[in-house]
Amino acid sequence: MKSVQQIEQLIQDMSVAEKIGQMTQVSNDSITPEEVTECFVGSVLSGGNGNPTPNEPSVWADMVGGFVEAASDTRLGVPLLYGVDAVHGHSNVRGATIFPHNIGLGAIDDTSLTREIGRATATEMLATGVHWAFAPTIAVPQDIRWGRTYEGYGRDPDLVARLGAALVTGLQEDIEGSGRIMACAKHFVGDGGTAWASVPRPEWLTWWDGWGPGWQMDQGDTRVDEAGLRSVHLAPYRAAVDAGVLSVMASYSSWNGEKLHGHRHLLTEVLKGELGFGGFVVSDWMGIDQLHSDYDLCVTTALNAGVDMVMVPLDFRRFIESATRCIESGAVPITRIDDAVRRILVAKHELGLFDDGKDLLPLTVVGHEEHRRLAAEAARRSCVLLKDEGGLPISPSEQIVVAGAAADDIGLQCGGWTVGWQGGTGATTEGTTLLEGLRSAHSGEVLYDKASDFSNRDVSRVGIVVIAEQPYAEGPGDREMPTPSDADRLLVARMRQRCEKLVLIVISGRPLIMPDLIAQADAVVAAWLPGTEATQIPSLLTGEHPFEGRLPQPWPGAAPDLDDPAGATYPVGHGFAGVGVS
């Protein structure tokens, strides 16, 4: 392992081109291993859709290994750092364990469990050679219309701080013989407080036109004074820094009109100065491009503000050429470049990437049964019993009828950031659906019809309807009115006519406005986005396990509650402690 003195010598030995290379992060599908060697590139990432073909753990390990080997072939052999959006498990990889999204972990509020999930995620990552997780998101979502609400643990800064720090600790634990990975606290700072319809769309960024009608809040403007920013949104970063987080990602969002990617006061004076953050700051995907129509000015502004590594991620030669001009002209001092490179190299040193003899963990740890058991426990414990007026418990031996595509759909259970950026529906990866869990755990007959068409049968005593949001991530998930679909309402109406007791299970990345559906149901369960392991959720319905989850976000009853959560149907902390208990 290199000493601090050796790192300083390494910086002195580097050419400007080699330093810029260390500050460059490129998407895996926009660069070849040969170009990594040629341009001294310091980091490669797989974005939300950056999966190899076929998407299998062994192919991941080969792909990552090819880029790592290419970096070792450079003049100084500085190791490469590979990053992925492992936001609820090693979630790009088909067959990996997918844990509940953060909103579900917020409903549990168990730091030990969260830390275990971090360690399990790190273990599966190391099997594929990946050492950097762009997680945790420690935003404090203040408006459930935001498409990233499920990435936050909840509305309370203290909850977010303790769970975020726990995940950082778990992710960065040393895995015997294989090193460790790096966590990334994101997105600094205030992304959870953006206002509706506050997203700027600069005319020089033509790619907005192809991204659809979303992005009404995501990448928007947080309009609070500094005291408000600190009390709500900065608190979790203090905890993450205290937990030793090695990287922080700058936010696309703005604070009172000023983009965070160019905000020197917050990135350098507050984060690195006041909070004492010793790691490095990475930009978000093409994040610096939003600063100005002049790309050289984008580069100058971001680097001088405190961004250390730029997630380019596509035209890396353009960035390298621009950074070279900015240094040669004196627009970016070489001392700022050296500081950025030093922070990156120290992080690589902390991860053990300079060491020889580190072996990848066996690929059998990806989707390991112990990790799946942990995920199943988390999925069960995250469920919140919103309402129960005699709908539960269900006898484990009686016949039940079940409806809704979401009852038997892994993709819907997992949500966005699963195998693909926006997620998907159907058998996107390996796991157990809620219906499979019911059939396995229930000794009575389980009848299933996706469309809730049980008109040819006698009225059943118990009917279960499972509804879900369609998967989404980031801006495409911004919703002015987060509510179930008309199709879901029809499912509930049909089942209400065919059963004596109706149990409604809601799979979603946020609370949904649905007072009509709540009124029709005898029991309502918020299951969030439970991931690939739904095997234990049925034990809540039969009373084998009590409900533990508590709402981390207020559950609105009408549109005005979105702006004034004080009027929500169910407040933060609501949730019945057991079956049939009121």
> Taking the CA atoms of the chain, what radius of gyration do you get in angstroms?
24
Q: Looking at residue 581, what is its pLDDT? A: 40
Q: From start to end of 143-241, where are the E strands?
A: 184-188, 221-222
What count of Cα atoms within 13 Å lies in the side-chain half-sphere of residue 237? 32
Hey, what amino acid is at 235?
A
Question: What confidence score (pLDDT) does residue 210 get?
Answer: 63
Can you give the pLDDT at residue 357? 64
Catalytic residue among 308, 474, 478, 488: 474
* Fold (CATH) for 4-359: TIM Barrel (3.20.20)
Split at pLDDT 50, 70, 90, the class of 202 is: confident
Query: What is residue 23's predicted lDDT score, i.e. its pLDDT?
Result: 99
**Residue 7: closest CA among 458, 342, 477:** 342
- Is this model's pTM higher than 0.85 or not? yes
SS3 309: strand
Q: What is the mean pLDDT of residues 357-378?
A: 93
Enter the tokens of residue 139: 């935003």
Catalytic position from the list 284, 289, 377, 449: 284
How far apart CA 102 and CA 108 sit, in angstroms, is 10
CA–CA separation, 339 vs 345, rounded Å?
Answer: 10
The per-residue DSSP string of 100-151 comes to PPHHHHHHH--HHHHHHHHHHHHHHHHHTT--EE---B------TTSTTGGG
The rounded mean pLDDT for the chain is 96
pLDDT digits (tens, 9 = 90+) for 62-115: 999 999 999 999 999 999 999 999 999 999 999 999 999 999 999 999 999 999
How is the chain split into domains, by residue range? 4-359, 369-567
Here the tokens at position 114 are 């969260």
Enumerate residues 6+ apart whose C-beta is below 8 A from 108: 114, 378, 381, 382, 548, 549
Catalytic residue check, 284: yes
Helical pair 295-305 and 334-350, crossing angle rounded to 10 deg: 60
Asked if the domains 4-359 and 369-567 are classified in one and the same CATH topology, the answer is no
pLDDT beyond 80 at 501 = yes
Handedness of CA 534, 535, 540, 542 (dihedral sign): positive
Tens of pLDDT, residue by residue over 449-472, are 999 988 888 999 999 999 999 999
Closest by CA position to 358, among listed 4, 564, 65: 65
Three-class DSSP labels, 68-84: HHHHHCCCCCCCCEEEE
- Pairwise pLDDT comparison (393 vs 454), residue with the higher score: 393
DSSP 280: E
Close Cβ partners of 289 (under 8 Å, ≥ 6 residues apart):
205, 295, 298
- Taking 90 as the threshold, does the pLDDT of residue 513 lie above it? yes
Q: What is the pLDDT of residue 580?
A: 46
Residue 582's pLDDT band, with cuts at 50, 70 and 90, is very low
> So what's the pLDDT on residue 1?
54
Burial class from Cβ neighbours inside 10 Å (0-12, 13-18, 19+) for residue 293 reads: exposed
Does residue 577 register a pLDDT over 90? no
Q: What is the identity of the amino acid at 199?
A: V
* Coil, helix or strand at residue 307: coil
169: helix, strand or coil: helix
Cα separation, 490 vs 121, whole angstroms: 39
pLDDT in the model for residue 348? 97
The CATH number of 369-567, from 3.40.50.1700, 3.40.109.10, 1.10.10.10, 3.40.50.970, is 3.40.50.1700
| Displacement of CA 22 from its chain's centroid (Å) | 25
In 3D space, the residue among 306, 283, 298, 282 whose CA is nearest the CA of residue 204 turns out to be 298
- CA 98/CA 88 separation, integer angstroms: 6
Confidence of residue 292 (pLDDT cuts 50, 70, 90): very high
Told to judge if 408 belongs to the known catalytic residues of this protein, a careful annotator would answer: no
Give the three-class secondary structure for 375. helix
The span from the CA of 408 to the CA of 429, in Å, is: 13
Tell whether the model's pLDDT for residue 205 goes beyond 90: no
